[in-house]
A and B are shown apart, each in its own frame.
Chain A
Amino acid sequence: MVAASSLIGELRGSISDESARIQREFEASGDGRACVSQRTRMVEEILARLWRDVVSSEESRSANFTLVATGGFGRGWLFPFSDIDLLFLFNDRDAEQAFKDPVRRFSQELWDLRLKLSPASRMLSECERYDPNNTEFTISLLDCRYLAGDRDLFRKLHDKVIPKLIMKESKILLQGLAEVTRERHSKYGMTLYHLEPNLKEAPGGLRDCNVASWLALISAMDKLRDWPEASSLRPPVRKQLDAALDFLMSARCFLHFRHGRDDNALSWEAQDEAAARKIGAPGAEELSAADWMRIYFGHARSVQRTVTQLLEEIPDAWSALYRQVQSWRSRLTTADFSVVDGLIFLQQPSALQDPEVLLRLFHFMAHHGLKLSATTEYRIEQALPALAATPPRGAELWLYLQETLLQPYAADALRAMHSLRLLTLLLPELKVIDSLVVRDFYHRFTVDEHSFLAIESLHRLKQSQSEWDKRYGELLGELEDPELLYLALLLHDTGKGVPNGNHVQTSLDIANQAMDRLDVDPKERAEVVFLIGNHLELSATLRRDIFDPGTVAAFAEKVGTPERLKMLALLTYADIKAVNPEALTPWKAENVWQLYMAADNYLNRSADQRVHTEVNDEKLARLRSLAPVTGSKFKAFLEGFPQRYLLVHTAEEVMRHMQMAEELGNDPVLVDLKRGRHWYDLTLVTKDRPFLFATLSGVLAAWGMNIVKANAFSNAAGVVVDTFHFTDRFRTLELNLSEWARFKNSVVSVMLGEADLEKMLRDRQRSEKGVIAKVKVETKIEFDDSSSATTTLVQVIAQDRPRLLHRIASCLSDQKCNIEIALIDTEGQMAIDTFYLTSGGGKLKPEHQKQVEKALVAELKSE
């Protein structure tokens, strides 16, 4: 036996020389695999020397005692500053006692050598049992390797004990492994797209590579009742995983050498250096840090996909309730897809040649919250090259995309499409933000993941119990076209992918390209452009005094309409929430809500501000370009209309109204009826007269139509433009094309006094039984004299019911009120109607207001 101190001195010297040599070699070659094997060999040699010196120089003298490498060391992957996993294995208690001292000395000397040990001592019989509180130990045995001592004892462990244990406990072990993996993933927000990811622990990192191998190995051993001869992963998966491992191993060695310790965080500084040194990508051209991170995310993505699929395949590892849900899900099977254990399979493998089936597949996924099976993913990958030659585009693609965006699990479907490279094939505009790291102190995720998270956070509002989520969830439910908000969220930060620019402007340019590709109609496009162009506007206003009416007015005027305001408030809420899990504090949620509420009130109370045709407004410019010859007529038509009229109608609609107004000389009442996506739109142009609004709403009620929204405006020449958006409760128009003409004629003849509205209404009432309201809405009537200089506002909130608007409007007209502007809205069971009233050419006097209120209360009380 060599004197301990001199041996330690000698070994310390050789560790230091050898470590320096390994580091030099890594710096020259960048080969992580070579580095970890060399370090493994070096440590093995040290252990062998110490074993001979401290425990026994001959194998026979250490009967019943074995030194086993486990975990990463067992795999032969010793990273520069990783712990060394060792198992001191004894046959029985006697052996444990006999080798107590040598083991202590052996460990101590390793510590003195500054090698970081992670030792475990077990008797063979203890290895036969699975301890649910220490899944890690059993898992570490899967990588066990003989180092020194009693070979027979090791053979017993390797050939008998471990296979027997796995056979007996495979299900529980798989379950345990799945649980610790999911716990670890949830610590990282279940996403791999971190701006500064942890290379080892984050989803898609090195730990997940191992989890994938272990899951496959345990399943294989359970079937074979022995160790499999080769890797149990399917060859294409193995190949992807090997490529990922090459990269991750090099990157981890690089980080260890760079930090001088077991620190696996890929900080921004480390990313810069790794890119400059082309770590893990030796053949690459010049790489920016963002390029290098894209390579990293590409590998992490394939690792995470493999692990997720393997976790999903774990049989019977779930609770009875989960199984029940899964079996219920299997009933979701359609002609195209079948569902087994929550995974989607294709009924016809060749079906994906049809791009529509592919698009339907992701819609199905987004709707039901299912995952793709490995074979389905494989088939999609196979189908992509053909699809790339003629990718779907235009309105059809937009139709599928919007239907997918509207589904509750849209974000998961988008992530799956993205990870399979389908999303960027369909919308190449998103390539610039693929796995993009933008260095920002607040953001925690890459730009693509941030956009998916924002979409996800809106969908989750519906299930959330938190007070703020509920409040914003109500707003979301009220949107006319939520798909436009989701599209805006998907594209709002694309500009971040283009360096050195104002990202809002660049995002707009990119979004316009994407919307060209999708052939989004101009009206919808205008909304998306507004949202992206102003996506920072609400947050910027929060930095000013939001209790100052001037701030609110300026903000509200910039936004323009209540619908846009709702979408912008939701977009801001989702955008902040997706920055990082703590970003949306209740304080911020409250501020956003406060500003929303104030701006909404402002918009409803300032609708009578007149149009100024002289100002340099985008819509006026568009109108001028559409009607170059009508110059003075155009000015005369707009004269006297409130600003709100221009905000709620597109330039094309205003042009149409103008044409209708010109025809008023021949026809006293002009009616236009169109079917929109959500409801029918009726436009009426005529000369103002008493009871006009009440009569019109009465005709609609008599036909059984449910008025959802309405606007009534008039210009200085007394031309009235009323628009009603209604749903067809009895599908009269939908099922009978001939009824369209009869309906329009009926509107005209009532207006001209040729038909008896009261009789029509009585007939309708007879045919309808009373409807019982599901939610009780209390009637509220509020007068406001201060918001408008020339009119009195009255807001009526009441339970929505048939003929409600007709009754309110008739009551107002009976009370000698002239309805200057009407803004009619319905939210669920609540009707929210705002009227701008005048009487005798001015505001309503206080006693008149009291009279009107009394009349309204009486009218709304009677059934």
Chain B
Amino acid sequence: MTKVEAVIQNSKLDAVKTALQEIGVEGMTVLEVRGHGRQKGHTEVYRGREYSVDLIPKTKLEMVLPDALVEKAVQAILGAARTGKIGDGKIFLSRVDEAIRIRNDERGEGAL
């Protein structure tokens, strides 16, 4: 099992969600986050005051997937979230040792 974390542009959430549903990803967690990578933010001047937007609002998706689905999911996210510009976001993959469904103690991929 692999945990997929993807930080994407807010405007791409619907497209990414649809793409993931199409390949059979059933559940995910969506978080409202702020941060920056190489897209360092910018400064907006409003009424003479500077508002620096150093942490840019982004959307983060988290899901734990059976290994067979991971590459497909990565491709789906890449396809739906990419604009080719700085600020498109990143995908992180990490190993997950165990998944447990609280309701019935089911374990492993069956619990996903």
Residues of A within 8 A of B (CB): 542-547, 585, 587-588, 590-591, 594, 597-598, 600-601, 778, 780, 782, 795, 797, 827, 830, 832
Closest residue of chain B to A591, judged by CB? B57
Q: A587-B34, A587-B57, A588-B32 are in contact. Are A544 and B46 (CB under 8 A)?
A: no
- Choose one: A591, A594, A598, A780; the contact of B48 (CB below 8 Å): A780
Q: Let me know if A601 and B48 touch, CB within 8 A.
A: no
Known: A587-B32, A778-B48. 7 other contacts (CB 8 A): A546-B10, A547-B87, A585-B32, A591-B57, A601-B45, A601-B46, A830-B47
CB distance from B80 to the nearest CB of A (A): 14
- Choose one: A591, A782, A830; the contact of B45 (CB below 8 Å): A782
Chain B residues within an 8 Å CB radius of A778: 48
Chain B residues within an 8 Å CB radius of A545: 9-11
Q: Given the complex of chains A and B, what is the CA–CA distance between A827 and B34 in angstroms?
A: 31
Chain B residues within an 8 Å CB radius of A544: 11
Closest residue of chain A to B56, judged by CB? A547
Q: Given the complex of chains A and B, what is the CA–CA distance between A597 and B50 in angstroms?
A: 11
Q: Let me know if B44 and A601 touch, CB within 8 A.
A: yes
Chain B residues within an 8 Å CB radius of A546: 10-11
Q: Given the complex of chains A and B, what is the CA–CA distance between A429 and B10 in angstroms?
A: 37
CB distance from B54 to the nearest CB of A (A): 12
Closest residue of chain B to A781, judged by CB? B48
Q: A547-B56, A547-B87, A587-B32 are in contact. Are A597 and B11 (CB under 8 A)?
A: no
Chain A residues within an 8 Å CB radius of B53: 594
Q: Let me know if A542 and B46 touch, CB within 8 A.
A: no
Q: Given the complex of chains A and B, what is the CA–CA distance between A601 and B50 in angstroms?
A: 12
Q: Let me know if A827 and B47 touch, CB within 8 A.
A: yes
Q: Given the complex of chains A and B, what is the CA–CA distance between A543 and B56 in angstroms?
A: 14
Q: A547-B56, A587-B32, A587-B57 are in contact. Are A598 and B44 (CB under 8 A)?
A: yes
In the complex, whether B109 has a CB less than 8 A from a CB of chain A is: no
CB distance from B82 to the nearest CB of A (A): 13
In the complex, whether B92 has a CB less than 8 A from a CB of chain A is: no
Chain A residues within an 8 Å CB radius of B13: 543
CB distance from A439 to the nearest CB of B (A): 21
Interface of chain B, helix or strand or loop or mixed? strand
CB distance from B94 to the nearest CB of A (A): 24
Chain A residues within an 8 Å CB radius of B46: 597, 600-601
Q: Let me know if B47 and A590 touch, CB within 8 A.
A: no
Q: Let me know if A594 and B47 touch, CB within 8 A.
A: no
In the complex, whether B14 has a CB less than 8 A from a CB of chain A is: yes
A-B pairs with lowest CB-CB distance, top 3: A797-B48, A780-B48, A587-B32
A-B contact pairs, 16 of them (CB 8 A): A542-B10, A543-B13, A543-B14, A544-B11, A546-B11, A587-B33, A590-B57, A591-B10, A594-B44, A597-B46, A597-B51, A778-B48, A782-B45, A795-B48, A797-B47, A830-B47
CB distance from B77 to the nearest CB of A (A): 17
Q: A547-B87, A797-B47 are in contact. Are A594 and B57 (CB under 8 A)?
A: yes
Q: Fill in one digit per residue for B17-43: 1 if any A CB lies within 8 Å of its CB, else 0.
A: 000000000000000111000000010
The residue among B34, B53, B57 with the most chain A CB atoms within 10 A of its own CB is B57
CB distance from A606 to the nearest CB of B (A): 16
CB distance from A587 to the nearest CB of B (A): 4
Q: Fill in one digit per residue for B71-85: 1 if any A CB lies within 8 Å of its CB, else 0.
A: 000000000000000
Chain A residues within an 8 Å CB radius of B57: 587, 590-591, 594
Q: Given the complex of chains A and B, what is the CA–CA distance between A170 and B56 in angstroms?
A: 58
Q: Given the complex of chains A and B, what is the CA–CA distance between A797 and B9 in angstroms?
A: 34
Chain A residues within an 8 Å CB radius of B34: 587, 590
Closest residue of chain A to B44, judged by CB? A597
Closest residue of chain A to B51, judged by CB? A597
Chain B residues within an 8 Å CB radius of A780: 48
Q: Given the complex of chains A and B, what is the CA–CA distance between A782 and B87 in angstroms?
A: 29
Chain B residues within an 8 Å CB radius of A600: 46
Chain A residues within an 8 Å CB radius of B51: 597
Q: Given the complex of chains A and B, what is the CA–CA distance between A598 and B53 in angstroms?
A: 12
Q: Given the complex of chains A and B, what is the CA–CA distance between A587 and B60 in angstroms?
A: 13
Q: Given the complex of chains A and B, what is the CA–CA distance between A827 and B47 in angstroms?
A: 10
- Choose one: B11, B44, B47; the contact of A543 (CB below 8 Å): B11
CB distance from A341 to the nearest CB of B (A): 45
Q: Given the complex of chains A and B, what is the CA–CA distance between A82 and B93 in angstroms?
A: 50
Q: Given the complex of chains A and B, what is the CA–CA distance between A601 and B42 in angstroms?
A: 15
Chain B residues within an 8 Å CB radius of A795: 48
Q: Let me know if A782 and B48 touch, CB within 8 A.
A: yes
Chain B residues within an 8 Å CB radius of A547: 42, 56, 87
Q: Given the complex of chains A and B, what is the CA–CA distance between A594 and B56 in angstroms?
A: 10
Q: A590-B57, A591-B57 are in contact. Are A832 and B10 (CB under 8 A)?
A: no
Q: Given the complex of chains A and B, what is the CA–CA distance between A587 and B31 in angstroms?
A: 10
Chain B residues within an 8 Å CB radius of A585: 32
CB distance from A478 to the nearest CB of B (A): 10
Chain B residues within an 8 Å CB radius of A601: 44-46
Closest residue of chain B to A585, judged by CB? B32
CB distance from B28 to the nearest CB of A (A): 16
Closest residue of chain A to B39, judged by CB? A547
Closest residue of chain A to B58, judged by CB? A587
Closest residue of chain B to A797, judged by CB? B48
CB distance from A674 to the nearest CB of B (A): 29
Q: Given the complex of chains A and B, what is the CA–CA distance between A797 and B45 in angstroms?
A: 12
CB distance from A472 to the nearest CB of B (A): 13
CB distance from A823 to the nearest CB of B (A): 13
Chain A residues within an 8 Å CB radius of B10: 542-543, 545-546, 591
CB distance from A126 to the nearest CB of B (A): 43
Q: Given the complex of chains A and B, what is the CA–CA distance between A780 and B47 in angstroms?
A: 9
CB distance from A792 to the nearest CB of B (A): 16
The residue among B14, B42, B45 with the most chain A CB atoms within 10 A of its own CB is B45
Q: Given the complex of chains A and B, what is the CA–CA distance between A587 and B56 in angstroms?
A: 10
CB distance from A148 to the nearest CB of B (A): 44
Closest residue of chain B to A795, judged by CB? B48
Chain A residues within an 8 Å CB radius of B11: 543-546
